Amino acid sequence: MFNFILVFLFSISGFATKIPVGLTTAQDANLATLSFSHIQQPKQQGDNNNYCYIALPGEKDRAHRYCDHSYGVMYNGYIVDNICYSNANAAADKISTTKACQLSPPLFRGHCEVLFPTEKDVINRFCPDSYGVSYFGYIVNNLCYQTIDRALDIMNSLEACYDQPYYGSCRVSQPKEIDADGKYCNNTYGVMYRGRILNQRCYSTIERAMSSMKSSNICRY
């Protein structure tokens, strides 16, 4: 479905948020919040050293969250998976079982990157207290993930992250990317052919849009 452009602006609170011990976020869910920002460009990944550390009680992360009288695991300045632990040993166990702790931030593969809680994409969306996977700066499939390792697994399994974004005369159009006729797909994807969304059709996932593009005879010309 095509839509008129409507821009929303939400601001992030500057107040610190206390994370209760053992709190986890919801399961994979649609994006809930919009705000303005820019996308951070990928850098070179590091080696397999450990990039996590134990966050002390009251230590705030980049999203202004902290563990009150408890401990967290800090990675790239964010408390991992929105969870606090009653003792430091439990936090240390979390470090040893979190795959992301073995990779230097930012986490990226090809055209994709893991976005951290409250980190915004190029059309102002972000995942509150959860993680997203961005594709050329756009959060993929309008989804957020409960854990950093879940987002990492999604990114590593997504063919679009390393596949060619073009096929012949076509390419995948991003959510809210306006074509030559002033139309766009709202939080979904289209197939762009010579500046126009092909057949005025949108797809719920980037996988479906890529598949449609590659199977289209029109894109060959």
Span 60-83, average pLDDT: 96
> What one-character-per-residue DSSP string does 149-197 give?
HHHHHHHHH-GGGTS-SEETTEEEEPTT---TTS--BSSSBEEEETTEE
Q: How confident is the model at residue 19 (pLDDT cuts 50, 70, 90)?
A: low
Cα 21 from Cα 18, distance rounded (Å): 9
- Please check the confidence at residue 20 and state whether its pLDDT lies above 70: no
Q: pTM of this prediction? A: 0.78
State the chain's mean pLDDT as an integer. 83
Q: What is the pLDDT of residues 98-154, one digit of tens each?
A: 999 999 999 999 999 999 999 999 999 999 999 999 999 999 999 999 999 999 999
